[in-house]
Amino acid sequence: MTAGKPQAFPGSARLKYSREFNLVRKQGRFFKTPHFLVYQRLNGLGYNRLGITASRKVGNAPQRNRAKRLLREVFRRYLKVATPSLDFSIIARRGAPALRYSDVLQEIQAVLTRE
């Protein structure tokens, strides 16, 4: 591992409050993939933010956490440089923890390249 700036996922890039999640879900665009429900909405902040939901239906705690880690990594590497000023609320569905990083990236990119 090389020394350098850590590539953390900052708090400013997260949806933190239920009112933020609700606003994205009520006023945003909706996309569905086999393993995720994706909502997106303009936020006017100049940078993208992400909120992830994974219920117990997705799996036990380690499985839910794995699904969330994969989504955060996709966001950190890909969505953060995508169209700025968007809020994303992503809901993980059954089967999401079994995916590889490349599978998650492919599903999310497919959704976001739709017109």
Q: At what angle do helices 61-77 and 101-112 cross, to 10 degrees?
A: 60
Nearest to 91 by CA among 42, 43, 31: 31
Q: CB atoms < 10 A from the CB of 40, how many?
A: 21
Please give the model's pTM, rounded to 2 decimal places.
0.86
Q: CB atoms < 10 A from the CB of 39, how many?
A: 20
- Give pLDDT tens digits for 48-84: 899 999 999 999 999 999 999 999 998 888 766 667 7
Mean confidence (pLDDT) of the chain? 87
In the structure, what pLDDT confidence band is assigned to residue 114 with cuts at 50, 70 and 90? low
- Cβ burial, residue 78 (10 Å; 0-12/13-18/19+): middle
Question: What is the C-alpha R_g of the chain?
Answer: 14
The three-state secondary structure class of 92 is: strand
- Give pLDDT tens digits for 27-54: 999 999 999 999 999 998 888 899 999 9
